[in-house]
């Protein structure tokens, strides 16, 4: 897998049709892949060895995990004077969708067991600060190149009670996912309630823009 080292091939595991939650701007469809050069996420943007962009999107198995990995991703520990601004979410028109794959997918296992298999630990790939995202993306490129996987699966750093995903849009089409909830507003109703409960759970005491 890596230059100068003979790592075993990554472990691929089946992901049977289950709900996947996504938080995203309203202008994007629930399972729409993006391949632009912008962004600085752990496993995107990425390109093949030939320079072709690999479209991706992120998702999570639960509402809480999806919110923790997006809206609350940058909350410091402890939150101290962090302010959760609901008006900013409204201005950005952030939405939440639920989709479900129509068939079994094959994902690279980046659990502790899967990481051990390729000579890594969580601190090497999952529990890393933003300053190390470039190296994480290099691993995503390797994993994409050396497997036929549809994406990557790991235990979320932000919510270790749930799984997070990145899917590869050159391996699976948007149409391979059934849309069950199409772009609900996260700044209203039950989704806002869920967000406020999470904010209280992690210790955010300042919420504005309600």
Confidence class for position 45, pLDDT limits 50, 70, 90: very high
Q: Report the candidate in 105, 75, 62 with the shortest Cα–Cα distance to residue 206.
A: 75
The continuous run of DSSP H or E covering 127 comes out as: none
Average pLDDT, the chain: 95
Neighbours of 31 (CB within 10 A): 24
Spatial distance between the Cα atoms of 158 and 196, rounded to a whole number of angstroms: 16
What phi and psi values does residue 180 have, to the nearest 5 degrees? -105, -35
Confidence band of 2 (pLDDT split at 50, 70, 90): very low
pLDDT 10s digits, 113-168: 999 999 999 999 999 999 999 999 999 999 999 999 999 999 999 999 999 999 99
pLDDT above 90 (res 39)? no
Q: What is the pLDDT of residue 6?
A: 61
Residue 8 pLDDT:
79
Region for residue 80 given its phi and psi (left: phi exceeds 0; alpha: psi -120 to 50; beta: otherwise): left
- Between β-strands 94-101 and 177-185, what pairing exists: parallel, antiparallel or unpaired? antiparallel
| Helix, coil or strand: residue 207 | strand
Average pLDDT over residues 91-118: 97
Percent of the chain surpassing pLDDT 90:
92
Q: How confident is the model at residue 68 (pLDDT cuts 50, 70, 90)?
A: very high
Would you say the pTM of this structure is higher than 0.85? yes
Is residue 3's pLDDT more than 90?
no
């Amino acid at each position: 897998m890596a230059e100068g080292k003979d790592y075993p091939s990554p472990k691929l595991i089946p992901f049977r049709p289950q709900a996947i939650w996504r938080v995203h701007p309203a202008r994007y469809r629930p399972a729409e892949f993006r391949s632009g050069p912008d962004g600085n996420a752990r496993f995107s943007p990425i390109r093949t060895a030939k320079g072709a962009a690999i479209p991706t999107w992120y998702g999570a198995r639960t509402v809480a995990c999806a919110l923790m990995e997006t809206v609350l991703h940058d909350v410091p520990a402890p939150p101290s004077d962090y302010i959760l601004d609901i008006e900013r979410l409204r201005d950005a028109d952030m939405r939440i969708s639920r989709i479900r794959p129509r068939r079994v997918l094959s994902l690279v296992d980046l659990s502790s067991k899967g990481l051990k298999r390729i000579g890594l630990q969580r601190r090497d790939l999952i529990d890393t600060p933003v300053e190390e995202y470039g190296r994480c993306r290099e691993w995503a490129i390797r994993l994409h190149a050396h497997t036929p996987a549809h994406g990557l699966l790991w235990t979320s750093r932000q919510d270790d009670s749930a799984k997070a995903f990145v899917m590869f849009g050159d391996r699976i089409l948007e149409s391979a996912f059934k849309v069950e909830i199409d772009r609900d507003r996260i700044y209203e109703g039950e989704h806002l309630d869920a967000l406020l409960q999470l904010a209280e759970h992690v210790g955010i005491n300042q919420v504005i823009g309600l």
